[in-house]
Amino acid sequence: MVLTRSLTIAGTRTSALAITLAMLARVRKLSVASGFTRRKTRQTCQTLPQNFQGYVPYCPFTLEPEAGVWSAPDPDRAKALIEEAGAAGAPVDVLASDEGLPPGSVEATNYVTDVLEEIGLEPELEILHGATAYFTRILPPSGEVPGTLAGTPRHPHVFISGWFADYLGARNFIEPQFACGEAGFANGQGWCDGTLDDRMNEAAALQVTDPGAANRAWAEIEHQLVDAAVQAPITNPLLTHAVSDRAENVQVHPQWGLMLSLIWVQ
């Protein structure tokens, strides 16, 4: 994912919306054309993966948003948003690393930088040579682990990151990345909305008594985050498994993948 800091460029979220509309939609084209991550991926506009709790298709930042999926970039609208915000020529710090990220990340970030310039901003790209240095620059401090707070001079406006859940629930995807305080230990963009935090807690409580209502609540929460352009998702990784015709009881877990212990061969 490419993320934009919640403390926005030129003091307005309009700049972040424009970046999401133009730059990040175009990066999706790059991710397919250049083999970003060098593995099979599915384009996405959302934080939650498909077929996941709370996922309802939604993609407002594209040329034809009514379809609910990404269709094409709209750089003209993005440029207009930048001009309306008075953000033309605003400096944008872009950070990348040649270690610790999927292959192709530096190439993708170079392309991001070009598109930022195209829509009227003045980006400056810095490439680090170490995963530890990179994640220390983009993530907030957590316990004894050092980090960098969003809004401070060393924190970038734009960078690439990603998320893999360790539990199959929408809360595991959303809370660590978007909650305030310690719960948002992976909140690299510095987003904090107390009302949204309350809604996350309500959705988690509903899971016990009314799972259907919980799913709808998480969908609303995620769509609100998409609308705010808190982060701009690019792709979900996909895994392909080839098995013999003699293999039976082949099952693929949505999180852990191929369940080898359940397969038998005739």
What pLDDT was estimated at residue 231?
82
Beta strand 158-160 with 91-97 is parallel
Cβ atoms of residues 13 and 193 within 8 Å: no
Spans of the chain below 70 pLDDT: 1-39
With CA atoms as reference, report the closest residue to 161 among 143, 142, 181, 137.
Answer: 137
In a domain, 38, yes or no: yes
Number of domains in the chain: 1
Sign of CA dihedral 16, 17, 23, 27: positive
In a domain, 195, yes or no: no
With CA atoms as reference, report the closest residue to 75 among 19, 157, 27.
Answer: 19
What pLDDT was estimated at residue 127?
95
What pLDDT was estimated at residue 32?
43
Supply the CATH number for residue 43's domain: 3.10.105
In a domain, 113, yes or no: yes
Cα distances from 83 to residues 11, 79, 135, 172, in angstroms, run 13, 6, 32, 37
What pLDDT was estimated at residue 3?
54
In a domain, 196, yes or no: no
Cβ atoms of residues 176 and 187 within 8 Å: yes
In a domain, 190, yes or no: no
What pLDDT was estimated at residue 20?
60
In a domain, 202, yes or no: no
Q: Please give the residue range of the domain that contains residue 75.
A: 2-164+226-265
Burial 150-164 (b: 16+ CB within 10 A, else e): beeeebbbbbbbeee
What pLDDT was estimated at residue 259?
94
Beta pairing partners, 41: 237
Cβ atoms of residues 85 and 10 within 8 Å: yes
In a domain, 136, yes or no: yes
Q: Tell me the C-alpha distance between 156 and 91, whole Å.
A: 11
- Amino acid of residue 56: V
What pLDDT was estimated at residue 244?
92
In a domain, 232, yes or no: yes
Beta pairing partners, 235: 43
